[in-house]
Amino acid sequence: MAKIVIRNLTKTFSGGDVVALQDINLEVEADESLCILGPSGCGKTTLLRIIDCLIPRDRGEILFDGTAVTRPRPDVAMVFQHFGLFPWKRLDENIAYGLELRGSSKQEISNTITRYLELMGLQDFAKSYPHQLSGGMQQRAGLARALAINPSLLLMDEPFGALDAQTREMMQEELLRILETAKKALIFVTHSIDEAILLGDRIAMMSRRPGRIREIVHVDIPRPRKIISVRAHPRYIELRNSLWEMLMQDLGGEESGRKDQ
């Protein structure tokens, strides 16, 4: 497990004309869940892609236990909103993909596939192709593939955003259960205040573009968590109202700016 430190991270597009992220500073402990919340277009996904070295940064640095990150790391896994499964591979082959790239033994791959199929309740669908699975099953498969490489850091970019409300809550509880048994650092991007409170130890509230860290909010609701117990906790409404007010202030500022122009 690794502590992640992000210092003075800045990213621009269009030759520097569009500042997507400006002076981002964050620290994430080795077993911490950090949720990133903010208005659309504030750079949440861009930040995740930079951490995973999918796109370059303009300046700043990312450190894993004090070591600078300059290329993709084998102990970092990313889960996207749209699953990212290979449609031509069966479910067991999708889960095995990262392990095969690492050169893992056939026995290790077989054991890992079995473990995560059982963990996700997908053992009866090992030979199924993605198009034969429901949206929730595909998302569980994507999560299984990410966890199979035993990452130190799990990056999740609105992974449940395309699911229906009932499946989304089931996947949230599934993720909570997994994080209780397999301690990992998690950085989770979401548009949902409720989801951020449920999953996060802390919530990084970002401002509209250029994206900055406006405030870090501690979620002082004890673990282990369930949806029903979190919503019944006395702090839940206070946290939700506070986060909502921050979002509305940002959006209100944007509207005021348009009216003044």
pLDDT in tens, the chain (261 residues): 578 999 999 999 988 788 999 999 999 998 899 999 998 888 999 999 999 999 999 999 999 988 999 888 888 999 887 767 899 999 999 999 989 988 899 999 999 999 889 888 899 999 999 999 988 889 889 888 988 888 889 999 998 887 888 888 988 998 898 888 877 899 999 999 999 999 999 999 999 888 999 999 999 999 999 999 999 999 999 999 999 999 888 777 544 333 333
Strands (E), 17-176: 18-28, 33-37, 59-64, 67-68, 76-79, 153-157
Tokens linked to 135: 């949206």
Distance CA 63, CA 159 (A): 25
Which own/partner contact pairs does 11-14 have at CB distance under 8 Å and 24+ positions apart? 11/43, 11/46, 11/47, 11/50, 11/55, 11/57, 11/58, 12/58
**Residues 212 and 196 sit within 8 Å (Cβ to Cβ):** no
pTM for the model stands at 0.89
Using the structure block, give the residue that is written with the tokens 């930040």: 47
Residue partners of 100: CB distance under 8 A and separation at least 6: 109
What is residue 15's predicted lDDT score, i.e. its pLDDT?
80
DSSP code for 16: G
Structure-block tokens of residue 9:
């991270």
Contact 115, 178 (CB under 8 A): no
Quick one: pLDDT at residue 258? 39
Q: What is the pLDDT of residue 239?
A: 97
Which pair of tokens denotes residue 190?
A: 């979401």
Under a CB-based contact definition with an 8 Å cutoff, are residues 189 and 48 in contact? yes
pLDDT of res. 253: 52
How high is the pLDDT of residue 1? 59
Which regions of 108-191 does DSSP assign to beta strands (E)? 153-157, 185-189
SS3 162: coil
Residues 6+ apart with CB under 8 A from 112: 95, 96, 99, 104, 148
**33-37/59-64 β-pairing:** unpaired
Cβ–Cβ under 8 Å, residues 32 and 197: no
